[in-house]
A and B are shown apart, each in its own frame.
Chain A
Amino acid sequence: MRDVAVVSFAQAPSVRADQLRNEVEILMPVVAEALGRSGISKHEIGFTCSGSSDYLAGQPFSFVMALDAVGAWPPMAESHVEMDGAWALYEAWARLQHGDIDSALVYAFGKSSMGDIAELLTLQLDPYSVVPLWPDAVSVAALQARAMLDGGHHSERDMAAVAARSRRDAASNPNAQVRTPLDEAAALAEPCIVSPLREHDCPPVSDGAAAIVLAAGERARQACARPAWIRGIDHRIEPASLGARDLATSQSAALAARHAGALGGAFDVAEIHAPFTHQELILRDALGLGDRATAMNPSGGALVANPVMVAGLIRIGEAAQRIIDGRARRALAHATSGPCLQQNLVCVLEAD
């Protein structure tokens, strides 16, 4: 495998609704910042890959329009995934393995504020047997939370503890959106939105964007004093049908972690993409994290900033940034996509 590293990361602060800027206007400064930090110009970038969803924008080919933020002239090699930007990063990493190019730009954007995100996510379910029932995203997540609680290993108190820690960490993250402290006892006394999920168990609705520059070998060392080397990366998927898998566990996350080399050793930081509190508990089990991670979601995670299609890429960016800054030597990053953790990507990052 060719050594490929994250050499720069930038993100837009997550907001409830950016009612002034369109996607291109949000994305442009983020792309410019990521490229600027890497010192790699858009003309040198060998491959560009983005993650977004036309369903969020409410119009077809919104990802093509987003290229206006990059300036696709002279003609460039470009690709897109209708997935979280973490999967765009995976494609760029695979593209860099070909060996003929030395750098890649990855970006993701999404404005969940323009529609009803909980209803919109219904459309990723089975169109014949599930969509006609219109279960919204919170209800579908609640099925999973119930399955986890019924397993008896985690409690609603554990879920509230995840929310409280995320809020605490959000206080020192300028890009976080939900930063009010959470009183666990008071929060547990609140009624459920959809049993067993309370407001603090659910992610905010967010608009946002993020960009990462990848570089290989010597080019990465030139671009960054302390590159965050991708030592392992893998993604796995489970059946789309919610009844065809055990919702209380995440086999695909465990499998991806194994293939990414994430099951051994300690991590200075783990950034886990868990939009709901119970999903962090399920993922911690699946990844066998236990107390192997010194800092768990120090950014506050998707519970405090959840731009859909971006939040997974931000996990990789946040983890990599800690290595680039010298605050961490080894980091675990995780991204998820689909209902109830259907798809999972695991990435192990290390300093030299």
Chain B
Amino acid sequence: MSEQVYGIKVPIRLDYTYVVGTAPARFLRGLAQGKIVGQRCPSCAKVYVPPRGSCPTCGVPTRDDVALSDKGIVTTFCVVNIPFAGSAVKAPYVSASVLLDGADIPLFHLLQEVATEDVRMGMRVEAVWVPNDELQPSMNSIRYFRPTGEPDAPFESFKEHL
């Protein structure tokens, strides 16, 4: 009697040396200096952050760096109630789209130092950076965003950026 085979396990692993690209590299190097660098489209003037090297609307290279504020507006957010394996943050927590002042596209980041039920669209927030000696070319250089306490931004000011 031969044994029936119902399945096999084939471990597969591929290693990559990822090349982020010229524009994203400028953004990452900026983070290592505690700065947020976007790029402006020469055609439509929109500012992208993180920049990927092109304007996805116009299909042209973005070359001009734009130093952006580390303050911005929560355009939209979600409350994460279900923890997942490996998460460094305790649920419930808020992930938010943050439109930095001067940018035309929001960054996605963690929101802290605020009760989940108090988070709202239009809330003014600022980046909380790691200590200077821990800065690195990574989004981890920003620990999270937190409310500034400034008055909320009116919906009209960010409705094009949702």
CB contact under 8 A between A69 and B19, given known A24-B53, A25-B53, A28-B53:
no
Interface size band for B:
20 to 34
Within 8 A of B (CB), among A112-146: 113-116, 119-120, 123, 127-128, 131-132
**Chain B, 7-46, CB within 8 A of any chain A CB:** 8, 10, 12, 14-25
State the CA gap A257–B38 with chains docked (Å): 51
* Interface status of A58 (Cβ within 8 A of chain B): yes
A42 touching B16 in the complex, CB below 8 Å, given contacts A68-B52, A128-B8? no
B99 interfacial by beta-carbon distance below 8 Å:
no
Give the interface segment out of B56-64, B79-87, B110-118, B137-145. B56-64
Indicate whether A73 sits within 8 Å of B57 (C-beta atoms), given known contacts A25-B22, A132-B10. Answer: yes
Q: Which of the four size classes fits the interface of chain A?
A: 35 or more
Contact B22 A70 (CB under 8 A): no
**B17 and A28 contacting across the interface, CB-CB below 8 Å:** no
A131 touches B12 (CB 8 A): yes
- Selected from B12, B23, B59, B61, the residue in CB contact (under 8 A) with A123 is B12
**Which secondary structure characterizes the binding site on chain A?**
helix
* A24 near B15: Cβ-Cβ < 8 Å: no
A72 at the interface (CB under 8 A from B): yes
Q: With an 8 A cutoff between CB atoms, is A20 at the interface?
A: yes
- How many pairs, one residue from A and one from B, have CB atoms within 8 Å of each other in the complex? 90
User: Are A71 and B57 closer than 8 Å at their CB atoms?
Assistant: yes
Q: Known contacts A22-B24, A28-B54, A127-B10: does B60 contact A114 (CB below 8 Å)?
A: no
Chain A CB count within 10 A is highest, among B15, B21, B59, for B59
Closest residue on chain B to residue A27 by CB atoms? B54
Cα of A119 to Cα of B12 in the assembled complex, Å: 10
Which one of B8, B18, B53 contacts A114 once the chains associate, using CB atoms below 8 Å?
B18
Within 8 Å of chain A (Cβ to Cβ): is B100? no
A24-B53, A114-B19 known; A120+B60 contact, CB < 8 A: no
B55: interface (CB < 8 Å)? yes
Give the chain A neighbours of B22 by CB distance below 8 A.
20-22, 25
Interface of B is mostly: loop
Q: Is A31 an interface residue (CB 8 A)?
A: yes
Residues of A within 8 A of B8 (CB): 128, 132
Question: Inside 8 A of A70's CB, which chain B residues have their CB?
Answer: 59
CB neighbours of A32 from chain B (8 A): 59-60
Residues of B within 8 Å of A238, CB to CB, are: none
Q: Cα distance A21–B53 when bound, in Å?
A: 9
Cα A220 to Cα B21 in complex, Å, equals 35
A111 at the interface (CB under 8 A from B): yes
Within 8 A of B (CB), among A1-43: 18-25, 28-29, 31-32, 42
A50 to B60, CA, bound (A): 18
> Does residue A161 face the partner (Cβ distance < 8 Å to B)?
no
B40 smallest CB distance to A (angstroms): 15
**In this assembly, does A240 line the interface, its C-beta being within 8 Å of a C-beta of chain B?**
no
Known: A67-B56, A71-B56, A114-B16. A25 touches B21 (CB 8 A): yes
Q: A112 vs B20: C-alpha distance in the bound complex, in angstroms?
A: 15
State whether B16 touches A22 (Cβ < 8 A): no
Nearest chain B residue, comparing its CB with the CB of A58 = B16
What are 5 inter-chain pairs, A to B, with CB distance below 8 A? Answer: A21-B19, A28-B59, A28-B60, A68-B55, A73-B56
Q: Which residues of B contact A (CB under 8 A)?
A: 8, 10, 12, 14-25, 52-61
Q: Name 18 extra pairs, CB < 8 A, besides A22-B19, A28-B60, A115-B15.
A: A19-B19, A21-B19, A24-B21, A24-B52, A25-B54, A28-B54, A42-B59, A58-B16, A68-B53, A71-B54, A71-B55, A111-B19, A113-B19, A114-B17, A115-B14, A123-B12, A127-B10, A132-B8
- Please give me the 3 A-B residue pairs with the lowest Cβ-Cβ distance, nearest first: A71-B59, A22-B21, A58-B16
